[in-house]
A and B are shown apart, each in its own frame.
Chain A
């Protein structure tokens, strides 16, 4: 399977703990996106990388959230001091050079976070 891979698929944690999600994009895609989706809502943009550079970050993104893509391949999204409001599906997507101009984001299956 050469699609976007995310790990772990499910994470249950206690409030105040840190969690980290990993995303492996499609290998030839240089653009990588993180979105968050809660029940009944569309995906909400969090941040975007082109290669290893983080070029855009949502204004709504708390400073407890940090994302990296150190070698321009896989990416990690870390949430520090988790809160119950962080419970959501975290979606990673990648796209080729033409990126959002064609609108074709290839999404992974997501990492579901539950904060108790």
Chain B
């Protein structure tokens, strides 16, 4: 089983809709989870992190974590064309390295 699984997509949503991005992980010891955004041809940048079960909201972004199910998600409300990017999930592994999923490519159509 891969350490981090994400639907590679592409996921296509209309402007203004809610985009839902999902990630499962295999390491039950993971305590922290990070979402990175990577625009085409650019490097990844951190947009959200979550440590505790439940929801964490930051503007239009909500991260949801369920440690029992080893599942973390990212919701983007009122999606904008500028949100079109690949979203990478990265659980902390207990060492210094972050292990990234393949990413989900999101396209928001005007």
Where the two chains meet, the residues of A that have a C-beta atom closer than 8 Å to any C-beta of B are 31, 33, 35, 40-45, 48, 50, 55-56, 91, 99-105, 107-110
**Is the CB–CB distance between B90 and A103 below 8 Å?**
yes
- Majority SS at the chain B contact face: loop
- B99 contacts the other chain (Cβ, under 8 Å)? yes
With A and B bound together, what is the CA distance between A100 and B92 in angstroms? Answer: 7
Chain B residues within an 8 Å CB radius of A35: 100
User: Which B residue's beta carbon lies closest to that of A49?
Assistant: B96
- Among A31, A56, A107, A109, find the residue whose CB has the most chain B CB atoms closer than 10 A: A107
The minimal Cβ–Cβ distance linking A56 to chain B, given in whole angstroms, is 6
User: Which B residue's beta carbon lies closest to that of A91?
Assistant: B43
**Is the CB–CB distance between B92 and A42 below 8 Å?**
no
- Given the interface contacts A100-B92, A100-B95, A103-B92, does A43 sit within 8 Å of B46 by beta carbon? no
**Is the CB–CB distance between B8 and A40 below 8 Å?**
yes
Interface size class of B (residues with CB under 8 A): 20 to 34
Chain B residues within an 8 Å CB radius of A100: 92, 95-98
Q: Which of B28-68 contact A (CB under 8 A)?
A: 32-34, 42-46, 49
The 3 A-B residue pairs with the shortest CB-CB distance in the complex, in nearest-first order: A42-B100, A103-B34, A107-B43
The minimal Cβ–Cβ distance linking B34 to chain A, given in whole angstroms, is 3
With A and B bound together, what is the CA distance between A77 and B28 in angstroms? Answer: 32
Chain A residues within an 8 Å CB radius of B97: 33, 45, 48, 56, 100
**Is the CB–CB distance between A56 and B90 below 8 Å?**
no
Q: Which residue of B42, B46, B49, B88 contacts A42 across the interface (Cβ within 8 Å)? A: B88
With A and B bound together, what is the CA distance between A46 and B108 in angstroms? Answer: 33
